[in-house]
Structure 1
Amino acid sequence: MCFSVLIVDDEKMPREILHHYIPWEEYGVRSVYEAQDGESALELASEKKPDIIISDIKMPRRNGLSLAEEVRRILPDCQFIFLSGYSDKEYLKGAIRLKAASYVEKPIDLDEIRGVLTEVCEQLRSTRRPDPEILFFRGGPDNTEPLNDRIYTPDDVLFTRLGEAVRHKNRHETEHLLEPLYRELLRCEGTPPDTIRSLYCRIVFLFINAAESRNLAPVAAAGNDSLLKIGGEETLSGLHAILKSLCVMYFNALESEEPDPLTRVNQYLEAHWSEPELTVLDMAQALGFTNTYLCAAYKKSCGRTINQQITQLRLEHAKDLLAHSSLRLYEVGRRVGYADGKYFTRVFTRETGMTPKQYRERHSHDN
């Protein structure tokens, strides 16, 4: 996440010191602007929309407090750091009233300014929501480079082939068509996200219709649930994960009209592994087994418990998100079914021998 800063002071030296002796790039600041009085600063703020304003208080043509009042009307989230060579209680009261990030007395202490900037930038990062379209295509707030303007053009031939593959139970062909479609959509960042959501709903209906024609009621119900999830999903990768989960469930259901407990559990987990509230007891009831029987039968079939399988599924998806997205660690945990970020870290470390942060550092080059 990148920021911009406006430095306002009627004296040239403080402006130059702040501009040239603060390592702005360390704070994620890409643009630094200067103004020599409050009036010109207001014009520049209206044009450049800075995230942070470092301003002297006593200035000609508009003082710092008056500047802050006006800027807050057009940029309510802009953070102010006030500078003053005067220990005036009235100025301090004004700064407090305007909810300034800090009030720093002159002469300028660069270490103090750096400390304040660290706090302000962290506050901005924690409260600012990323652009929804950047979030949709890139999965996180850190990459703020402009999106390209490519727009996806629906391919009727591809959808005809996809429909035939689903109806004719051709798993390989279905997966072969879905993956390139996903990669192409990722490249077409000018496509409205709602258009892509509609496209994914269209594909989900292919699975619902095919499941209903084969009396695969659980798959059809999962398809309807997928439609609801698609409407609220914020990322393209999330949409694709929903579709892949449904695809796996559909073709697994086709492989046996009456699958054994192992297959039925794995099908259920493919559809529900990311749900924080998932329990073995609820799954056993949904599948029509007693909890004791299902746990024993599953472990006998594959040599591990259902909870171990849930953990394995979640951590495999977590590894993929850590290596290929810029999501924060607690966000990764939530995506894979752990509502508590600290618990996610403990489980990940226990099972892999390294922390999520260490795993990301080792594998981010694969992205």
Structure 2
Amino acid sequence: MYSIFLVDDEELELEMIRDYIRWEEMGIYVAGTALNGRDALEKIEVIQPDIVLTDVQMPVMNGLDMAKRVSELFDWIQFVFLTGHDEFNYVKSALNVGAVGYLLKPLDLSEIVSVIDKVKRRCEEVRMKNRSIRVTKSNIVREMMFEQNEERFRNLAASYHKLSRHTEPRTYTLTLLGLDAPHAAQPGLSLEDGMARLQTHMEEWLADKKLEADLIICREGELGIFMDAASHLSRFTWEDLLKQMQDALGFTMTAAVNEEPEELSRIQDLYRETRLMLEEMFYVGNGRVIYAKDVLRQLESRQIPPFQETAYFEDIHQLASEQAAQKLRDYFNRLVMLRIRKTEVCDFAIGLVERLLEGIHEPITESHKRAELYQSIYQCRTMIEIEAIIMDFAGHAIRTLEHRFMDKNARLVHQVRTTIDQTYHQAITINSLSDQVYLSPNYLRSIFKEKTGMTIHDYLTKIRLNKAKELLADDSLKVQDIAQRVGYESTSYFISLFLKSQGVTPNEYRKNI
């Protein structure tokens, strides 16, 4: 549907045109009215209708002068003139200022329908042309963001200025909208579909607000809004717009709003700075608006602080879920304050999860499971998501322990395995273990094999050899030292066990690390 603005100095005539012509049946809605050219000019600058139907002869400012002024501001607005004088000079003047047609008073309905059909065809042509220009400008902006050849960059800038039809120098601002995994909110919705819906919504919003901006898909899941600094939106508007889009689309997005105006020649710096702002979501969380003041990159550090891991695992094994969760929350809050880099946070999270699973005797052994863990953590866009993954694994560990503790034999086997895990470097016998759990050696052997699928001796050997493989990475340690550190007094016996288990000697294993 197209909008029309009506101008006539005769109030009764204006009301008749507005109320008695069936505009909606022609696919038109009346956006406003005015009684003279000057009043119309002020209102049209705000409303920016598709069509203006105006009388020629009016006081204060006539229709022809008003049309010339409007056309200088908005060359896409279409004009139809009304005149009670069937004179060629008026018609010629009207057509010279770009009128699509003219109507004689008194109005004839069939003539109105014919002229409006012609105007609508012209409006559609203008829309198609403007849409093509917008697409071309957006493509140019995207190319300029990444173009390294200086001559090519200057040519692109010249093309952009030509399409923008600006005579004076302009400055621009950039906002980046990053999608926060739309498939998580709407299963089955791909990132591409989410981006398409976001772009369409943004185009409609800009059109409704009569704002011009170039929308650029800068990279996967990232929409850029490049606009004249004079038209830049207020902070309140961005906050309101983000909430409106999230409610309408059903998924969240994060906005990095760079309010610092830059010339077109500095667009690459503008994009680089705005992208750093968007990455700040890793610390502040997604689904919000980020401004330059939120970016604390000067604090960024690779030095990750120590974690109360012993106390944390004690809480896990005592099934104190809330105390363990609070320790983790406090630690992550500290990581946020220190702006610890993402790689360090991810590596810490992966190591903690692995130790959580080892603590309940479910180590990650299959390579694909390890790869899945790495991928799930490194793909997180915020520290909140990484913290949530650790929380899930901690919950799994506590539920597993709860289930085992309900089973007396499972609880006893867990106790024995924990003892072996902690004292593997000492002399361990079946008798010493059975004494700790008040069972006979034979019965302990039986329930241990039942619950774990391996003998106590095999489990002890596995733990010792796994630790030995870690120690072999240290070239300063001799094989004899390593054998003693993992509980073997006889180096030859250690080597024979290692060879049988790994298919190579300790020294051969060390060479392949």
Normalising by structure 1, what TM-score? 0.40
Specify which structure has the bigger relative contact order, considering alpha-carbon pairs within 8 angstroms and separated by 6 or more residues.
1
Which has the larger share of strand?
Answer: 2
Please say which structure displays the higher CA radius of gyration. 2
Normalising by structure 2, what TM-score? Answer: 0.29
